[in-house]
Amino acid sequence: MASTNPASGRFDIPREGFAPASTMLRETAPEEAGLDPAPITAAAQRLTGWTRRNAVEGHPLFAGAVGMLVHDGKIVTTHSTGSAVRYADGSGTELPSEQQVPVRPDTIFDLASVTKLFTSIAVLQLVERDQVELDAPVARYLPEFGVNGKATITVRQLLTHTSGLEPFLPLWRDWPDKPSRIRAVMRVRPQSPPGSGYTYSDLNLITLGVLVERLTGSSLDAVIAERITGPLGMTDTGFNPPANKVRRIAATEFQTEPARGMLRGEVHDENAWSLGGVAGHAGIFSTASDLAVLGQALLNGGAYAGKRILDEQSVRLMLTNHNDRFPENAHGLGFELDQIWYMGGLTSPRTAGHTGYTGTSLVIDPLSRSIAILLTNRVHPKRSWGSINPARQAWATGLARALAVRPARGPRAWFSAIGDGETATLTTPALTVSDRYAHARFETFVDSEPTDPLVVEASTDEGRTWHTLELQVRGRGSPDKTVNSLSGTGHRSWWSARVMVPGGQKVTLRWRFTTDSSDTGRGVYIDGIRIVDTERVLLDAERYPETIITDGFALSSG
């Protein structure tokens, strides 16, 4: 498969900069976009499998889904599966088949917290207009917010979830009306000192929604329609969808507290509902195709179809990590960054996105100019049926594995894309090493989380026991010191590795890639294995790959 960046000569080196602002989405086959269709097809099949009843749990992971994958402005797949409406009640009683509603490519989903991205863009638009300063205290714009220890909280801290505010207040339950609910958010006391840590909080974005309304003089839904969705032509995206679109909307939960029944076309989030369906943290409904337009506009540097919603510098600012002090919680302005738990094999320090509680996710990878969108109604009919993170990962990873990685040497390289909790190995025959020393050289392309390591091991007792060898590695993004294992995401580069081999005995080497119970990335490639002692070449796997015993690895041409 050809490299997605032919100028690299070997693999898809990340390309800096935005796509041309004139880039428009169009549908095409994966092959025409330079992608391997097999991983995409496999990911689509997995999505369909998750809509079927599980024999162990007695229910599917989610009722229905639309998944869309975009690469370089090309929509390479849109996969719709399952049901938009399947259940009659919260116990999981299925409707008669003729009353069930299948998911279609244009099915509209409740985005839940993906709404936060729209609010964040609206805030950045105010920054561009010099109406807001990121490091100004929020109380400058909302004086009533600056009470109970919040006087120093900045706009940036709300956008990056470092304000110290608690995650949630049951506004719908404990306050009687919208004005009192907004006052409760304005008066809340921080749980921790502002700037001292990361705590994901709906209150941050509810506050920013109020800020947008205060400074524009318009309601948040009107601002987003006028400044974001309208210019981009996102005609199926907005708060409180009209009645004539309900037939296209996926149902969510059968709620008993509050007693709202089966929800369809009404926001799932109780607090957003109690605020009239319009809030900075939740409430927007949309389709996969509309979200693709938003994603492509950001990849284009803030513009789409001749309409600009943000300057390029603002987009860069949104997609830059502002949480260096909290490395596990990388965050741009509104956007999450570098989160393998749902970004899968597309993960990198520059990969941006967000998830929604109803079962939605948007992943934008500027390095490969790719977008992965997964919209499900996983809370239909109840929220306790489980997490869809495995599906989010699998969908993004399907696109990642479709991107070409050309072998470092020759026509083929070994590749392993094992799942969670598995091990793959490449093992040499027993080699007689001279009295002095030997060394092994190889090339590797690693895309895995730190707890999914690639190690090189040696055995001098015919494989009964193994010990780990130290590695010296060079290449873009490689470790800068001797290490015992290799892992990492986002560098997307072949590394050259060297390892010393024990001398004066028979030695067997093996390359072992082991994954833990969750969060598998793109996988591991190994190429050009060559073992040499002071006298001769002991093994040249590039010329004679049949000498290597494989378990969980397969030869791939990229």
Element (H, E) at 175: none
pLDDT of residue 363: 98
Q: What are the E-state strand segments in 17-114?
A: 26-27, 64-71, 74-85, 101-102, 109-110
pLDDT of residue 3: 32
- Cα gap 240→350, rounded to integer Å: 33
Per-residue confidence band for 490, with pLDDT thresholds at 50, 70 and 90: confident
Per-residue confidence band for 435, with pLDDT thresholds at 50, 70 and 90: confident
Q: What is the DSSP pairing of strand 284-286 with strand 303-304?
A: unpaired
Helix axes 202-216, 115-128, angle to 10 degrees: 40
- Cα gap 331→333, rounded to integer Å: 7
What mean pLDDT value characterizes the chain?
Answer: 94
Per-residue confidence band for 12, with pLDDT thresholds at 50, 70 and 90: very low
**Domains of the chain listed by start with CATH number:** 26-131+200-402 (3.40.710.10), 413-556 (2.60.120.200)
Mean pLDDT of 112-134: 98
* Residue 526 bridge partners (DSSP): 414, 444
Residue 105 scores a pLDDT above 60: yes
Residue with the bigger pLDDT between 411 and 534: it is: 411
The single residue listed with the structure tokens 């993960």 is 347
pLDDT of residue 558: 75
| Cβ-contact 108, 287 below 8 angstroms | yes
pLDDT of residue 6: 27
Q: What is the pLDDT of residues 533-555, one digit of tens each?
A: 987 999 999 899 999 999 999 99
Per-residue confidence band for 7, with pLDDT thresholds at 50, 70 and 90: very low
Residue 2 scores a pLDDT above 70: no
pLDDT of residue 557: 84
Closest CA to 204 of 129, 279, 112, 315: 279
Mean pLDDT of 32-55: 96
Residue 389: CB partners within 8 Å, gap ≥ 6? 341, 342, 518
CB atoms near residue 383 (< 10 Å): 16
Alpha-helical segments (H) within 472-525: none
Residue 134 scores a pLDDT above 90: yes
pTM above 0.85, yes or no: yes
The single residue listed with the structure tokens 């009353």 is 99
pLDDT of residue 434: 85
15: tokens are 């390309």
pLDDT of residue 16: 54
pLDDT of residue 436: 76
Residue 45: CB partners within 8 Å, gap ≥ 6? none
Per-residue confidence band for 333, with pLDDT thresholds at 50, 70 and 90: very high
Q: CA distances (Å), 137 to each of 132, 151, 152, 207, 544, in order?
A: 10, 7, 5, 12, 65
